[in-house]
């Protein structure tokens, strides 16, 4: 099986690539032209996230697309770059008849089924008022995925770390599941790949955290 990975040149990317190879996937990594990324273990497509032809090439024949795209710099641009990139990926997926999308999101993008959880809602409020362009991109990204009509899953996380995988995770909506604020990148990658064939969280946005 094939998988296309976006955002895999970042800190979570190593774990996504390792997980893909450990599970026997043929992986294609889309890397921005500005990133001198090379990995002999995977196929790399270099280009801009606005280049529809290259996006189609990257996702073609994939069982699923996994995205770790998200705001990484401050100040974050006001023109919703992550949302626009994700919309372009969604368009390419539809063109190539690829229907499964698993993407990282955060508690800043609420789910309609969430209840109040101060550990999540307080940081989200701070981001909204102190980093408005970051907040807008996170929220609009989630809205774009929900509107896509794909078989999507958003994996919502708080603070990522590079610790070893946990023996068990908290998984569920905020306010109903007892969440901590941290989860390892290795656990996130494994959970994302679990969703490729599982439909337990199709068109859902569970939070995940370490017990």
Sheet hosting strand 64-67, strand order edge to edge? 43-46, 26-31, 2-6, 64-67, 100-106, 151-157, 207-210, 169-172
Return the residue matching tokens 């306010």. 175
181 contacts 206 by C-beta, under 8 angstroms: no
Supply the pLDDT for residue 14. Answer: 93
Report the C-alpha gap between 210 and 156 in whole angstroms. 13
Supply the pLDDT for residue 72. Answer: 86
- Spans of the chain, pLDDT less than 50: none
Supply the pLDDT for residue 38. Answer: 85
Supply the pLDDT for residue 60. Answer: 98
Element (H, E) at 57: helix 52-59
Report the C-alpha gap between 83 and 137 in whole angstroms. 6
Supply the pLDDT for residue 102. Answer: 98
Supply the pLDDT for residue 33. Answer: 80
Supply the pLDDT for residue 211. Answer: 81
Residue of 98, 97, 2, 82 lying closest to 42 (CA atoms): 2
Give pTM, 2 decimals.
0.96
Element (H, E) at 182: strand 182-184
């Amino acid at each position: 099986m094939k998988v296309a990975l976006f955002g895999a040149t970042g800190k979570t990317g190593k774990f996504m690539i390792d997980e893909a190879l450990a599970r026997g996937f043929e992986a294609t990594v889309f890397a921005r032209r500005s990133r001198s990324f090379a990995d002999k273990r995977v196929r790399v497509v270099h280009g801009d996230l606005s280049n529809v032809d290259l996006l189609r090439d990257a996702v073609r024949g994939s069982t699923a697309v996994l995205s770790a795209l998200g705001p990484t710099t401050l100040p974050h641009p006001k023109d919703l770059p992550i949302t626009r990139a994700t919309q372009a990926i969604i368009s390419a997926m539809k063109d190539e008849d690829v229907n499964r999308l698993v993407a990282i999101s955060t508690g800043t993008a609420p789910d309609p089924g969430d209840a109040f959880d101060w550990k999540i809602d307080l940081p989200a409020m701070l981001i909204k008022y102190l980093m408005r362009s970051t907040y807008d991109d996170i929220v609009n990204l989630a809205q774009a995925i929900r509107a896509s009509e794909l078989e999507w899953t958003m994996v919502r996380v708080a603070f990522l770390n590079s610790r070893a995988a946990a023996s068990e995770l908290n998984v569920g909506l905020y306010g109903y599941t007892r969440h901590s604020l941290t989860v390892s990148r290795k656990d996130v990658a494994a959970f994302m790949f679990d969703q490729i064939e599982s439909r337990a969280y199709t068109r859902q946005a569970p939070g995940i955290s370490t017990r």
